[in-house]
Amino acid sequence: MKKINIGLLGMGNIGTGTYVLLEKNKDIIQEATGCQVEITKILDRDTTRDRGIYVDPKKFVSDIDDIVLDEDVQVVIELLGGVSPAKDFIYAALHSGKHVVTANKAAVAADMPRLVSEAKANNVKFMFEASVGGGIPVLSAINGPLQANHFEEVLGIVNGTTNYILTKMTDEGLEYADVLKKAQELGFAEADPTGDVEGLDAANKLSILIYLMFGKYVAPSDIPTTGITKVTKEDIKAAKEKGAVIKLLAKADKDTYSVGPELVSLDHPLSSVNNEFNAIYLTGDAVGQVMLYGKGAGPMPTASAVLGDVIQILKGEK
């Protein structure tokens, strides 16, 4: 059986989840790809942290070249998060002829057109399903079954942390700051949650959706963005009185785009998307309205999308 070696960049929550899922569902992966897939190298400075699983310490490396220059590594999974140095590492891997899978919306959104063309130029795959909507296969749907449509609009709840906070504020009458800590403990929030609560994470994801749906690149910094830090218990109560809830919506059509807290009427399907769940509500000229719903954050849903991409790549290699 063909052996596929993976280099994993980053072994935090998501990296550990990916490692665990690869071990747990090895049978499925082997059957689908006809390959024996193993994470053979891990770039992470923290070699001693208790991750709740045994990882051979010899797998850890501290220099990216140990992975991108290793001819025995065919696929790189980038889960470092943040633009730098992750983006440079992705370029280095693509240049070295490695397929790259990432969940890193910040790095993808920062340079999407170039990253995509760099992969093409090197005749390798660059896949990032997990970067938008965690475990929800929204990018595959846009690029696959929905690709015969002209897209008209997208409305997305694409940040699990803020949706969790707004849900708890709504259901339990809690204040913003009290809920944020819990979201961090549950592993939804970024290491620095500013990007979540200020809407920047949602803007990264919207930038990716705009590129794939409307064929144009809008840098996240060009998307008008407001976070949820100023949403109060009183705002939530006022929304209730109007028969609505407040959601952080990422929305775009072919000309306009924004991220911010908005009233969503209780009769709209997005109003019932709660906690860390995400949903992307798309309108296409042929299909009409489609809503994709699922867990948008957390180690296992994200690992599901990451390894789905890996399997997709290896199936193409057969």
Which sequence positions are flagged as catalytic? 205
The set of residues, in sequence order, having a beta carbon less than 8 Å from that of 75 and lying 6+ positions away, is 4, 5, 6, 7, 98, 99, 100, 101, 310, 313, 314
Site for ligand HSE in 189-208 (CB under 6 A): 189-190, 196, 201
Per CB under 6 A, does 81 bind ligand HSE? no
Residue 96 or 258: the one with the smaller Cβ distance to ligand HSE is: 258
Residue 143 or 194: the one with the smaller Cβ distance to ligand HSE is: 194
Asked if residues 142 and 154 have their Cβ atoms less than 8 Å apart, the reply is: no
* Total residues at interface with ligand HSE (CB under 6 A): 11
Single residue of 134, 156, 284, 299 touching ligand HSE by CB under 6 A:
134
Min dist. Cβ of residue 134 to ligand HSE (A): 5
Q: From CA 259, how far away is CA 294, in angstroms rounded?
A: 20
- Per-residue tokens: 122: 């090197």
Site for ligand HSE in 147-166 (CB under 6 A): 159-161
- Residues, the chain, total? 318
What Å distances lie between residue 292 and 135, 136, 145, CA to CA?
Answer: 10, 7, 13
Q: From CA 92, how far away is CA 65, in angstroms rounded?
A: 9
Min dist. Cβ of residue 188 to ligand HSE (A): 4
Residue 100 or 109: the one with the smaller Cβ distance to ligand HSE is: 109
Q: Is 82 exposed, middle or buried (0-12, 13-18, 19+ CB in 10 A)?
A: middle
Q: By CB under 6 A, which span of 43-51, 63-71, 188-196, 253-261 interacts with ligand HSE?
A: 188-196
Q: From CA 136, how far away is CA 277, in angstroms rounded?
A: 10
Residue 122 or 302: the one with the smaller Cβ distance to ligand HSE is: 302
Single residue of 297, 310, 311, 313 touching ligand HSE by CB under 6 A:
297
Min dist. Cβ of residue 318 to ligand HSE (A): 31
Binding residues for ligand HSE, per CB under 6 A? 134, 159-161, 188-190, 196, 201, 296-297
